[in-house]
Amino acid sequence: MIYITQLIFIKEGKEEIFLEFEDHAIPLMEKYNGRIIYRLRPTKEAFIAEQKELPYEIHFISFDSEMDLANFMKDDRRLGFIHLKNESIRSTLLIKGEKM
């Protein structure tokens, strides 16, 4: 099992396009044993301290294996709507790990 924490920074005014991307990507993840454990949209008040810009969303995701993640990333259907991600997301910070 692998875990991914993803901080997502959206281009200004592109929130609806990002949500459309998520509407496609999240169900497709399940085909590859992927799950969103937590999907957070934190407010400024939720942060005790920050040194950089705050993310639009934070995702905590799991996949059963590296192979499942790799297969999800190269899925033709995902690649068919990847333009929505590219149009809406300015940057992401992705942290990959495993349960200890």
- Position 46 scores a pLDDT of 82
State the pLDDT confidence band at 57, using cuts at 50, 70 and 90: very high
Residue 42 has φ and ψ, to the nearest 5°, of: -75, 150
The CATH fold of domain 2-97: Alpha-Beta Plaits (3.30.70)
Report pLDDT digits (tens) over 15-54.
999 999 999 999 999 999 999 999 999 988 888 887 888 9
45 Cβ partners below 8 Å, 6+ apart?
none
The pTM (predicted TM-score) of the whole model is: 0.87
State the pLDDT confidence band at 90, using cuts at 50, 70 and 90: very high
Residue ranges covered by each domain of the chain: 2-97
Across 22-41, b (16+ Cβ under 10 Å) vs e yields beebeeebeebbbebeeeee
